Amino acid sequence: MTDIAKSAPAPNGRRWLVLSILCLATVLLAIDMTVLHLAVPALIEDVNPSSTQLLWIADVYGFALGGLLITMGNLGDRFGRKKVLMSGLFAFGAASALTAFAPTAEILIGARALLGIAGATIMPTAAAILRNVFTDGKERSTAIGLWSAMSASGFALGPVVGGLLLDHFWWGSVFLINVPVMLVVLVIGLVVIPESRNPKAGPIDLFSVVLSFVGIIALIYGIKTAAHDGIGEIKALAGLAVGVLGLGLFIRRQTRLASPLMDLKLFRSRVFAGAVATNVITVFGMIALSLVLAQYLQLVLGWSPLLAGVAGIPGGLSAGLTAPFAAKIAAKWGRGKTVAVGMVLLSISLVLYTRLGAEPDYLALLPAMMFGGAGMGVAFALTNDIVLAAVPKERSGAAVSIVETATEMGGALGIAVLGSIMSSAYSSNLEIPAEVPAEAVPALKEQLAAALQTAANLPAEAGARLVADAKEAFVDSMHITTVTGAIIVAAAAILALITLRGKFVPAADDAHGEDEVAPEPVKEEALTR
């Protein structure tokens, strides 16, 4: 089968039906990424995992996903994106059922790993299929905007859907709900999604697969361990060392292969490299928001997971409403300026979190969430479109997998850097009442949740003082963390202006040029720079 670009284009109605199916799969994937933390209390009671097993239950999904994105994107380009996507959807449904009914922690860890592997097939192939189905630039931009909006909405809906299910059913219901939805997507997708592949693709280099998998997983593990235990921890240093060595060998090998797993020539494109970097920093800023919001609403304000999820809906809706219009705004302002505006909105959002205190003030929280959602919606919609347009269609799966992998790295770095800043600031600001037992001090200085649990076992007055001091220390550390994130995201706005400036010319489907930005006429300068 040749690449879809070689065949007649799909009818207009069919193209939008393909988009609808891919959006549904993306929404479900986004929801699945947000529901686990809600199910943890009930899961602990039922499965009774050890603390180490619980960490693996939480982390193994991201490890498998991040480690295999590059490989799965290439498999789709080489063997058929529809085949890989359909296989991934089936595997995701099966792994969801196994997760829901897992009787032991060991089986649950294995099921979560299978979910990550399946998720790695869905993300890059879905975007690559959109690139091949929507060949018209304006239609593609609209489709990518809608697809990005659905992903953002899925993250907002996750806590709500999870909270509703957990109010009525057992913890496994948040995973079992995936099965009927995936069956619908699978059946309709088999009929309406056209097959496409790179007709000139070479063989898969298995040693490159191993190097990329080991390098990425080790690096993410090292970053997460450093964030939790400190950079001096031997496990963190070992993970970082293995990750850097593995990825270094991987990159070196790619420069010597006729058919590399990662085409490093893509980074010769200024817009491709700039879009990838902007995505990484956007996710870095999003981590600041997630670190703050989940703990603030539930631990400081004392809201239930469902109420906290409902309260966060405006942020997701803001992203969902702005993403589809990003391309129209960019047509007037230019891509670089529009992405920069999105980053500035996200930066402003992070600064607005400094207005929050230890008492509920939803009117102060609302604009912070909406500015952040709007900024992320605009930035993600455009950078995803830029990445797909900057490379020929036959390399779209590989290109998207690079972006998704870099995004996983950005999330891990955000947790490590901003999480460490928040933890350090909280520990420094917390005042410990004399009544607190010495053995309890290390734990409560590390987490607000531990401080609240310790306070419940103290005399009433001392407990009340500890609760008030701990919440105040958390809010102060939250302000420091969000301002730090705001500064980093603001720097990304400048990066977007520099790298994404100029009149953008999409890559030809058979082109392998070094840079797809054409010189810009002087008369267009005010609009595009």
Which of 17-26, 66-75, 84-93 shows the lowest per-residue confidence on average (mean pLDDT)? Answer: 66-75
Kindly state the average pLDDT of the residues 362-389: 84
3-state secondary structure of 97: helix
95 Cβ contact list (under 8 Å, min separation 6) = 111, 112, 114, 115, 117, 118
Neighbours of 431 (CB within 10 A): 11
Structural fold of domain 266-417+488-529: Growth Hormone; Chain: A; (1.20.1250)
Nearest to 261 by CA among 118, 85, 401, 61: 401
Averaged pLDDT, 126-142: 77
- When pLDDT is averaged across residues 483-504 and rounded to a whole number, the result is 83
What does the alpha-carbon distance between residue 342 and residue 293 come to, in Å, rounded to a whole number? 20
| Inter-CA distances, 119 with 65, 192, 268, 276, 376, Å | 6, 21, 29, 20, 22
Residue 444 vs residues 60, 192, 300, 449, 450: alpha-carbon distances, Å: 27, 55, 14, 7, 5
pLDDT of 343 strictly over 70: yes
Average pLDDT over the chain reads 79
Give the integer Cα–Cα distance in Å for 242 and 222. 9
Give the helix ranges, DSSP H, for 334-447: 335-352, 362-390, 396-429, 441-446
Asked if 282 and 343 touch (Cβ cutoff 8 Å), the reply is yes
Cβ atoms of 127 and 191 within 8 Å: the answer is no
Task: Give the pLDDT band (50/70/90) at residue 503.
Answer: low
DSSP line for 429-478: HPPPPTTS-GGGHHHHHH-HHHHHHHHTTS-HHHHHHHHHHHHHHHHHHH
The reported pTM is 0.74
pLDDT at 2: 42
The domain limits of the chain are: 11-198, 205-260, 266-417+488-529
146 Cβ neighbours under 8 A, 6+ residues apart: 19, 23, 323, 324
> Per the structure block, which two tokens stand in for 173?
């219901």
* pLDDT the model gives residue 68: 83
Q: Which residue, 156, 421, 412, is CA-closest to 284?
A: 412
In this chain, the answer to whether the domains covering 11-198 and 266-417+488-529 adopt an identical fold is yes
Q: What are the tokens at 106?
A: 């060991």
Residue 290: its H or E element = helix 270-295
Cβ-Cβ contacts under 8 Å for 70 (sequence gap 6 or more): 212, 216, 261, 262, 398, 401, 402, 405
Is 302 a residue whose pLDDT tops 80? yes
Report whether pLDDT(283) > 50: yes
Helices and strands in the chain, H and E counts: 20, 2
Q: 522 pLDDT band (50/70/90 cuts)?
A: very low
For residue 165, the model assigns a pLDDT of: 83
Using one digit for the tens of pLDDT, what is the confidence trace for 217-256?
Answer: 888 788 777 766 677 778 888 888 998 999 899 888 988 8
Residue 136 dihedral angles phi and psi, to the nearest 5°: -75, 130
Query: Cβ distance 63 to 390 under 8 Å?
Result: no
Give, in words, the CATH class of 11-198.
Answer: mainly alpha
Q: Which residues pair with 504 in a beta bridge?
A: 517
Three-state DSSP state, 304: coil
